Structure 1
Amino acid sequence: MTHFLDVLAALARDTPDAVALRWFGGRDGARVREEVTFAGLAERVERTASGLRALGMAPGDRVLFSIRPRPEGIILCLAILRAGGAVAFVDPGSTPELFAARIAAARPRWAATEALLYAASSGPLRGIARSRGLLLPDYGRLPVRHLYSGRWLPGVPRGARRAARLLADGFLPTAGPPAADLPAADGGDPALIVFTSGTTAEPKAVVHTAGTLGGMLGLFAQVGGLRAGQRAHTDQMFLGLPAVLAGGTWEIPARAPKDAPEAFARGVAGADSSFLVPADVTALLDVLEARGAGGGADGAAGQVAGRAAGPAVLAVGAAPVTVALLERGRRVLPGTRWIAVYGATEILPAAMTDADEKIAAAAGSGTATSAGSDGGAAGDLVGRPLDGIGVRIDHAVVGLDEDPSGAGADGSGADGGTGADGDGPAVGELVLTGPSLMAGYLADLDAGRPRATEHRTGDLAYQDAEGRIVLVGRNRDMIIRGTVNIYPGLFEPRLRDLPGVADAVMVGVPMPDGDERVVLVVTAEGAPQESAPRNQDTPRVRVGSDLARAVEAQVGQVLDHGALPDLVVEASHVPLAGRSRKPDRHALVDLVSPLAGTVRA
């Protein structure tokens, strides 16, 4: 199997002067700060990899990586992979205990960090970071070898080496690096480690190899229809790198779309492709609607304006993509082809559908949501599996209090695979395989367990007559906000230990763009049992109570920064549902939606 970095080397030979990376900056984000050609990119990756090896980086070394997408960081990331190392992403916004547990699990030998992050975690900026809820670890004290990007700032540890200086330390081999120095195309050694969830006792990280990363990049090329000479304007590496490997230009915005939507709107106009998470799409559409760009989908003038204001193709993913978001996007940017992407960190991407297909399915003109006029499971169409993705629906799903298919408790149906009426679709857990399937979870691989052969998504789904995947629910609780998966069960026990709290339940309130707002519902301890409301009564909820304010002031001590609630409310009691008498999260979502200032999608 060809290493994906060898594709870059071939492009450097064939199209040396074409632009591979274009990074924007300036106050308005419109100025081109740096351009890197294919020849320059390949050379800098090789020189940097050579410099890393000269410093002592060995195949298998793990590198804690905390650098935003920009040429210096992208080159360093690729050079680490070229040198045979593994890039480990650990959220610095985790609680100190969880960050320490993840570092202990990853066992990095190196850290590659922005100079600003060193300063914010140990210098005078640390107080500002804490005031904004970031309990940053002291990166400079980590017992690793340090690499940093950007200009030196106070807090950068003594002996740290600037990434750009590695170019001077390295050399460009005349015949390419020795084969022994390159990672195996699909060996068992990690190339990418991403922590997704877990507790201090058992942090959970997804591991990809060079081979599965190459598979991922190839699948994303299908999503964007990427070709040589195209412009992909995005801050997301999983579309940027495939664009480069297809011979196109990855345009990197100065700041994330949600942080500078005006600048992103200017940069993405007229691009061939882009990839955004739903919350970023909302920020972009807000800007475009405010300036009146693209609107007027009726008529040729509206189509021309829409094409000028947006990219030719805009892929949306990393969180549920709602019909409401796609309808709005199609209205504001009628000349853009909108694509919804489905996948998971463990196997990404897996399926896709465009706005027209998804909207038609939701309206009942397709088979995806109605499953036929004779009944069956409605659901959310996520599309056809990409070429190379294998799909299996496991009907033996156990432990479901509510069966969306109308099937039996085990999900198999009374007649061996259909709904209760014998005509509906057979719903089960969605299980995926493919070239981008992770090698496994870090703890399993480090313990010598076999590599993963499939990924159980936790999503309840069925395939319609056309082979399209339709989701109808989940068999475990999870909230998705932005690009962060939040598993309430990991955090609720710690929240229940807070002073004055009897019970604590985290729920996600769906927003029209597919994102979720996290609401923490707490009840007070010490209430007389005889005066407690009956469970079937509708709970009374309050915002701003003494308990809610006290909990809000303490959640930063027990939750990851990415899991902090948007709102804390106090309830008289938590409603229960199902045979197991678990918290009725659906009822709580209905109850707190008005308080969260959102509507259910």
Structure 2
Amino acid sequence: MVGAEPLSYGELDALIGTVADRLHANGFRPGDRMLFSIRPCVDAVALIFGTIAAGGTIVFVDPGVGPELFARRLAVVEPTWAATESLLYLLSGPLHRIGRARGLALPAFGRLPVRHIHSGPRLPGTPGSSLPLRQLFRHGRNGAVPQLEPDTDALIVFTSGTTADPKAVVHTRSSLGAGLAAMAGRTTLSPGTHLHTEQLMMGLPALMAGARWSMPRYPRFGTHIDPVEFTRGSATATHAFFTPADLAVALGAIESGKLAAPPGLREVSLGGAPVTTALLRRAKAALPQCEFLAIYGMTEILPVAVTTGSAKMEFEGAGDPLGAPVNGVVARIADDGELILSGPNLSRGYLGEPPLEEIRTGDLARIDGDTIILIGRKKDMMIRGKTNIYPGLYEPAIARVAGVRQAIMVGLPDEMGDERILLAVVAEGDAEAVRARLQRELPQLIDTSALPDEIVVVDAIPVSGRTSKPDRAALRALLRNGR
């Protein structure tokens, strides 16, 4: 972590072993599940892997989903332990009104019927029996490390959504290890390089590659790192990870002169949402010394494919190139065009359901040579007349038009069940000039049957989720209500 005392590889390994040992001494047993609500930091990494080393399973449930959905998810996984920042006990207990005023509708952490571990000072609302996390870092007895099979559960994480039937994805030690190894082989991370990120699935491959990993500090009451401050903290790094939405914010600050471009960055990885050529053009102009990597994956199997920003910008065909599958991942296309995946990094499956042998992605794709080309999402398909229109087939090409920063196509149904196709564009420079350019160029750029009925310039595309993916439903509502 930035500003914290650095740990060597040996010290980190010893710390993980100590945590596993101290957990056993305090009654933790193989098979126990630990609800985890500590923002990424060195202590959090040690506890996560100490828990897995002790034979336990880490359960990630975002407290920001709201008390009702949080309770549903908890009922599914039935954790016996909880590791929680003491600030959450305070803001969900004695200061819950202040928490709500800050937009935090938190579950009552202190009332959870589990064994508690708290990170940070003991604040009001922290259960009296809660074990201080730092106590787990003190050397004690040397217990026997359990011998664990590769298919032992290691991580449970929920797919996005707000349904009453939450989907809990179960990763094993084997699937996690395979995913980390696959990611490690697709970057230029190596001894002497320095990665700046809070993302575990990027930080751990960096360690496996012999690189240094630093983590940014979170705001005191924040659940998301400010992209500008994160970029400022990358000043000494050679590598960094951004979501596309966060990179766009950072680029805006660099372009306006409010932020100096990190001089040492050589490679920036992007993931969590589609990476457009328009964003890559901006990024290459602001950070000309950098190569950019676009990572495609999903909760159930990560990573799936990696490609360079250069390859994406040079691509001239229809659709969005994702790159070749990483080592071990097998991709095939179903009869209806859906991308189906399997491989050693595929999760065991969903809690309480039969194991997965492969995963249907919901993405429509084709395979050209060894490259997966994304065409669109099955559920995003629009119907106008007798024509099925997949926006993902056209949006990457539209985003390559000069002056287009972002482009999203949505359909607005009429009273006859047909759809009026609207193209929402975030423009660089004069909006009317960009609209006119699109009207001239689109007939030569995309299929005539997919031409939008209207081109609308908007200030921003609505986003949702922790990775700020484009929210098509919110965009439809915005356009339906007259912007």
Normalising TM by the smaller chain, what interval? Answer: 0.7 to 0.9
Q: Amino acid of the residue matched to residue 379 of structure 1?
A: G
Residues 197 and 240, structure 2, Cα contact 8 Å, conserved in 1: yes
Write the distance in 2 (CA, Å) between the matches of 1:235 and 1:355: 22
Q: Tell me what 2:323 maps to.
A: 383
* Code of the aligned partner of 1:133: G
CA distance, structure 1, for counterparts of residue 113 and residue 268 of structure 2: 42
Q: Does the aligned pair in 1 maintain the 2:35–2:60 contact within 8 Å?
A: yes
Within the candidate set 76, 82, 85, 1:114 is matched to 85
**Take 1:587 and 1:252, find their aligned partners in 2: how far apart are those partners?**
34
Which residue does the alignment assign to 1:287?
253
Is 2:379 the counterpart of 1:476? Answer: yes
The structural deviation recorded for 1:589 is 7.2
8 Å CA contact 1:207–1:439 kept in 2: the answer is yes
Give the C-alpha shift of residue 115 in structure 1.
0.7
Q: Deviations over 1:409-438 (max 9, x none)?
A: xxxxxxxxxxxxxxxxxxx11011122111
Residue 459 of structure 1 corresponds to 363
**2:229 corresponding residue in structure 1:** 263
The one-character-per-residue Cα deviations of 1:156-182 (angstroms, maximum 9, x if unpaired) are 1110001111122634x4xxx635x14
| Alpha-carbon separation, structure 1, partners of 2:84 and 2:293 | 34
Tell me how far apart the structure 1 counterparts of residues 19 and 475 of structure 2 sit (CA, whole Å).
Answer: 55
Shift of 1:567: 13
Say whether residues 1:146 and 2:116 are aligned partners: yes
1:156 to 126, 136, 160: 126
Give the counterpart of 1:226 among 189, 193, 209: 189
> Which of 209, 212, 216 is the aligned partner of 2:179?
216
Query: Which amino acid in 2 is paired with 1:359?
Result: M
In structure 2, give the amino acid aligned to 1:326: L
Report the counterpart of residue 355 of structure 1 in structure 2.
309
Aligned in 2, Cα 1:293/1:107: closer, same or farther, shift over 3 Å?
A: closer
Identity across matched positions, percent: 41
**Does residue 250 of the first structure (1) align with residue 221 of the second (2)?**
no
Give 1:191's match in structure 2, choosing from 149, 154, 163.
154
The answer on 1:130 being equivalent to 2:100 is yes
Q: Residue 352 of structure 1 contacts residue 386 of structure 1 at CA under 8 Å; is this kept in 2?
A: yes
With structure 2 as the length reference, what TM-score do the two structures score? Answer: 0.78
Task: Measure, in 2, the Cα distance between the counterparts of 1:567 and 1:108.
Answer: 33
- Per-residue CA deviation, residues 77-122 of structure 1 (Å, 9 max, x unaligned), is 1100110100000111223221111001011000001111111111
Contact preservation (8 Å) 2:217, 2:225? no
The residue aligned with 1:424 is: none
Task: Compute the displacement of 1:269 (Å).
Answer: 2.8
Q: Match of 2:444?
A: none
Contact 1:293/1:309 (<8 A) preserved: no
CA–CA distance in structure 2, aligned partners of residues 68 and 46 of structure 1: 21
* Partner residue, 1:320: 274
The Cα of 1:592 is off from its aligned counterpart by 4.9
Change (3 A) 1:207 1:534: closer
Instruction: Please say which structure displays the higher CA radius of gyration.
Output: 1
- Give the RMSD, CA atoms, in angstroms: 3.4
The alignment of Structure 1 onto Structure 2 pairs a total of residues equal to 416
Decide which of 42, 47, 50 is 1:76's aligned counterpart: 47
Q: Does 1:335 align with 2:289?
A: yes
* 4+ aligned runs moved over 4 Å, structure 1: 510-517, 532-539, 565-568, 584-587
Q: Distance in 1 between matches of 2:120 and 2:128?
A: 15
For residue 537 of structure 1, report the CA deviation from its aligned partner.
Answer: 9.8
Instruction: Report the TM-score when normalising by structure 1.
Output: 0.64
| Pairing 1:436–2:345 present | yes
Whichever residue aligns with residue 129 of structure 1, its letter is G
**2:479 corresponds to which letter in structure 1?**
L
Q: Deviations over 1:429-453 (max 9, x none)?
A: 1011122111111121xxxx3x211
Kindly provide the CA deviation profile for residues 198-240 of structure 1, in whole angstroms up to 9, marking residues without a partner as x. 5564211111011111111111112322222321111111111
In 2, the alpha carbon distance for the partners of 1:320 and 1:118 equals: 36
- The equivalent of 1:345 in structure 2 is 299
Q: Aligned pair 1:274/2:240, yes or no?
A: yes
- Residue 240 in 1 paired to residue 203 in 2? yes
Matches for 1:535-550 after TM superposition, within 5 Å? none
Structure 1, unmatched stretches of 5+, are 1-22, 25-31, 295-305, 370-377, 398-427, 479-509, 524-531, 540-560, 569-583, 596-601
AA in 2 matched with 1:393: I
